[in-house]
Amino acid sequence: MSLRASLVVGTTFTFLLVGCGTATSSEAGAPAITSPEPTDPAPADGANDAGDGTDAGPRSGSISGPDVGPAVDAFDAALAAAVCSRLAACCSNADYAAFFQGYAAPPFELEVAPLPAACAATLSTTFGKLHKKWAGSAQAGRITFSSARAQTCVSGISSAACGVPLTTALFDAACFGTRGSEVFTKIAPPGAACKDIKDGTFYGECDPKLGFCGSAGKCEAWRKTGEDCGVIPTRMFCAPALSCMGGSPSAPGKCSGEPINRQIGESCAAVSGPLELCAAGSYCEGDTGKCTATKPNGAACKYDEECVTNHPYSCSPFGGGTCGSDSFCKTPGTK
């Protein structure tokens, strides 16, 4: 893919959470989430806001309104307890610290990793910095919360084996994405009132399949190829797969065409125009700017995307690792 696309994907990836190969599963059961029963069916047009091309769809047991706050608090507490239990069982001191580095950026802004005794309480509060914003919108009926999907996330973490299974689970955007998840569903359609809730997106409370929260406080449809786009003085965002080209503070740009698929050996480094996406089994090599075949396990690598086996920390350590690594959060240490 192009360097621009790599930056987009890399940024989204960073916003997911970090975690901890293959041996044993958790002996403890998942902490229970106690939440009110839903009073209304899930909206038919629900979708996630993960920014990763997935479509969450309506969620079983979704709720909105005044009952959401206690349900979200219970979810944060149960999820934090599950995560901290597995970190203690699976992760070295360095892995433990690396996990919490994922929360240094907004909206979390956690400065240092907590002591183990404070892990669950600190992580629950940290989750709440984002989830309470979404819960406020859910109370207004613009986002829904699925207690059933929340319980699935907690159970998945609790039962994940050390190493790759737990690492993968803790990076899962469906549970931990800061741009949205399958637990929280943004549902406001174009034309509906919306707020920019400072959750790291310009989608606000709007259904990300359909559009974004505009400058006038209403959801607007994504701009299409050839339409005006920009941020100042008015928000006019292209559909997620498109680029905004040629804009300036005094004049709008234009939305690009659809992404271009590139084959191995072809250029993927264009800095303007449509996004360039490398075919399956290849990646955009930063030094050459060309699509390059992914590397087998055991090959030297800099980043996960270079490897045939592509999961968080599959190239470890970053910048000078080996494809196929399963070392992250595989060996517990003394915190």
How does DSSP assign 35-99, residue by residue? -PPPSSPPPTT-B---SSS------TTEE-STTHHHHHHHHHHHHHHHHHHHHHHH--HHHHHHH
Please report, for the chain, the start and end positions of each structural domain, with discontinuous segments joined by +.
18-186, 260-323
In one-letter notation, the amino acid at residue 229 is C
Sign of the CA dihedral with 16 first, then 333, 126, and 159 last: positive
Residue 335 has a pLDDT of 57
Residue 266 has a pLDDT of 97
Query: Residue 291: phi, psi to the nearest 5?
Result: -70, 130
Q: Which residues pair with 213 in a beta bridge?
A: 219
Query: Residue 307: phi, psi to the nearest 5?
Result: -100, 145
Q: Chunked in runs of 10, what are the mean pLDDT values of the chain (335 residues)?
A: 33 31 33 35 30 40 78 97 97 94 92 95 97 94 94 97 95 90 94 91 90 95 96 91 88 95 96 93 95 97 95 90 94 72
Closest Cα to residue 308, out of 277, 278, 279, 282? 282
DSSP 305: G
Q: Give the C-alpha separation, 305 to 173, whole Å.
A: 17
Contact in structure between 186 and 63 (CB atoms under 8 Å): no
DSSP H stretches of helix in the chain? 3-15, 68-90, 93-101, 119-139, 147-159, 164-170, 173-176
